[in-house]
Structure 1
């Protein structure tokens, strides 16, 4: 009995940890299957074939490997955007420091400071942007 409860609990936990993308895949599959049932009742073979092709495509795109590949690609793009924003910020901070050290006039220093502030805001946006 304890084994049964443990197995049931582990199954519930694995279902509870389904990803949003997995949930979207399941919802899309169910929608296609409902449409296929309607097409079958209408004896609409053309629509049934089209829906079957869409279901096959969904099944191919919703494998754990495909989902993982998309997720890792999105994470890489997110990290690349953050790295690029950090590099830009460092470059503008360097230019600002050189201008201040050189004794450049206040108008030029203020312009470099605005660039630094914009680069910081861009970095903050890149970090806050959801991974997609």
Structure 2
């Protein structure tokens, strides 16, 4: 049951994110179209060409597939950063455990503890970082 709830929540969040992306694309298109109308009224063909190229680029980047791909890439980068932070924390915790088991002096153990603490903070930041 928890799995179904988690899946439903992730689908809602991804739909909300896609809607935000679509809204941003629509707003950008409208801005470009207004600027194109102004350039047309001013008979500024160079600006009109540049704005048309920008509109074409926006249209290509704002397809549902392109938005989904951007979202998947962002999620993959986020997951990779979290996994890397987890691995680093696990490595430092193992080094700290070895140092304690070996009976290393307190100064070195304190240094390992600081590294573990920093790695935990890095992991927390990686998890909390918004997916963009």
TM-superposition CA deviations, 1:28-84 (whole Å, max 9, x none): 100000001111111222221211111111100111111111110000000000000
1:69 aligns with 2:37: no
Alignment of 1:12-27 (within 5 A): 17=16, 19-27=19-27
Q: For 1:106 and 1:74, locate their aligned partners in 2 and report how far apart those are by CA, in whole Å.
A: 42
Alignment of 1:5-44 (within 5 A): 17=16, 19-44=19-44
Q: For 2:68 and 2:89, locate their aligned partners in 1 and report how far apart those are by CA, in whole Å.
A: 31
DSSP 3-state at the match of 1:19 = helix
Q: Show the counterpart of 1:121.
A: 121
Q: For 2:98 and 2:47, locate their aligned partners in 1 and report how far apart those are by CA, in whole Å.
A: 67
Q: Which runs of 4+ in 1 moved over 6 A?
A: none
Cα RMSD after superposing both structures: 1.4
Q: For 1:31 and 1:25, locate their aligned partners in 2 and report how far apart those are by CA, in whole Å.
A: 10
Q: Show the counterpart of 2:88.
A: 88
Q: How many residue pairs get matched? A: 117
> TM-score when scaled to structure 1?
0.84
> TM-score when scaled to structure 2?
0.84
Larger radius of gyration: 1
Deviation at 1:19, TM superposition (A): 2.0
